[in-house]
Amino acid sequence: MNSTIEDTRTEELEQVLSAAATAADPWAATPARNRAAALRAIADHLDGAADTLIDLGTRETFLPEARLRGELKRTTFQLRLFAEVLDDGSYQDIRIDTADEQWPMGAPRPDLRRVLEPVGPVLVFAASNFPFAFSGAGGDTAAALAAGCPVILKAHPGHPELSVATAVVIQAALRDADAPSGLYSVIFGLDAGRAALVDPRVQAGSFTGSIAAGRALFDLANARETPIPFFAEMGSVNPTFVTRAAAHARGADIASGFFASMTASSGQLCTKPGVLVVPEDMLVHLRSQTPPPPSPLLNDGIQEGYVRSLQELVSHPGVAPLLGGEKAFSDPPEATLLVTSIGDVLGDPSGLLAERFGPAALVVTYQDEGDLLRLARVLEGQLTASIHGEDDDDVQDLIRELAKRAGRLLWNQWPTGVSVTYAQHHGGPYPATTQAGTTSVGTAAILRFLRPVAYQGFPQSRLPGVLRDDAPTPVQRMLNGKLVSA
């Protein structure tokens, strides 16, 4: 689908930035219940426009209708879940210490009241592989709006028409909710994205994509005169370790589960299990898998990058074909498994444990189960790491090692299909992300776009409403070290 949308011009970008800056204070001051109503309005409007949006999405991304409908459902659920977070109010992490002349520190304690407040306009770089859930109305957009921050979306070139259509729906919903003008805008083009990122009115940025692009933007955000937080999700091979006992007990089931997870969405998921570590006798189960019909990748750039990275892997002297291969480099590509030994990986971890964004994975065989821990120790930061084992397997050291290197650990499950929940963590040490302490999925994502402010010695009339003794809305607070609802 050829788009006629042009890159955002300098004067247009100035209007967007000015409008976002103007909307920041009014939106931050908008009561949480009103912001919640706006999020629900966006969800309702997106549901109402589903057929139009999904038709655009299928034409621009090659993703099937069923996948896009599921993704849109996830997106509107996410918006409504953040609305519930605002209704609850505990996200503000309110802490109140009343004045205490007898404070045992050795000096009187002043009256201190701490709350999380919005950082200001946020620049969100949309993802290619999730045109809804990590793009126009995705997790960072929902989290930033919930936090009280205006959003400027840098559209992905893989789905520009859908980005415009989604923006029209979101802006209409915000008008219906009486939200400030300029609260949500969309811009196009790499130059516009870079210019926005270094503009002093933008106070935070987020990104989902490649290591090269994410690192370049992260460096740009940190090179500003006043650096800003930049939350980049970049690369992960999501290793899966299979113990001998698990392979013996259910090797066929593990192989089929792995192959289904690895080929989901043609391998274009950030949580795709790209490395499977197994005893040699499990190879027979992996060779017997039936590849799904090849599907086009999201766009020409991803196809070219996938072929290039797969060619590098295939040419490695320690790597051999295991399944597929005849049409591995075709457009669309056939699912492919390659195999190597744990010794080869330990000898060249950076060459063999790189992400391949597409329907390919590397199977690593081992003889000694003790080598699993050695392999874990050479891993870079990951979004996920999985173990398939039996209850009496001695894997506690492996679990502890993987916990140092991944943001989410899984036991006898597969990492694709990231659930939007309260306890979810979708992040990990570099290069999986640039901010291992934050998540892009789940309700904790709101914390990306808030910062703590403590008010000391203020009279009640000068405090934000939620910090007053007679707060207008009951909310969970920590009062003198004890959780209360008031």
Give catalytic residues, as residue numbers. Answer: 233, 270
The dihedral sign for the CA sequence 277, 283, 285, 290: positive
- Residue 419: CB atoms within 10 A of its CB come to 10
The three-class DSSP label of residue 67 is helix
What is the spatial distance between Cα 80 and Cα 73, in angstroms, rounded to a whole number? 11
**Which of 307, 367, 361 lies closest to 338, judged by CA?**
361
For residue 64, give every residue at least 6 positions away whose Cβ sits within 8 Å of its Cβ, in sequence order, or none.
58, 295
**Which of 196, 163, 167 lies closest to 184, judged by CA?**
167
What is the spatial distance between Cα 240 and Cα 237, in angstroms, rounded to a whole number? 9
The three-class DSSP label of residue 12 is helix
Pairing of strands 112-118, 94-97: antiparallel
Q: For the CA atoms of 68, 74, 79, 83, what is the dihedral angle to 10 degrees?
A: 160
Q: For the CA atoms of 303, 307, 310, 315, what is the dihedral angle to 10 degrees?
A: 180
Q: Are 337 and 324 in contact (CB under 8 A)?
A: yes
Where do runs of H (alpha helix) occur along 199-241?
211-223
The three-class DSSP label of residue 397 is helix
Pairing of strands 450-456, 112-118: antiparallel
Tokens of 280: 């040699």
Let me know if 413 is exposed, middle or buried by CB neighbors in 10 A (0-12, 13-18, 19+).
Answer: middle
Ordered strands of the 450-456 beta sheet = 450-456, 112-118, 94-97, 476-479, 482-485
Helix and strand numbers (H, E) in the chain are 15, 17
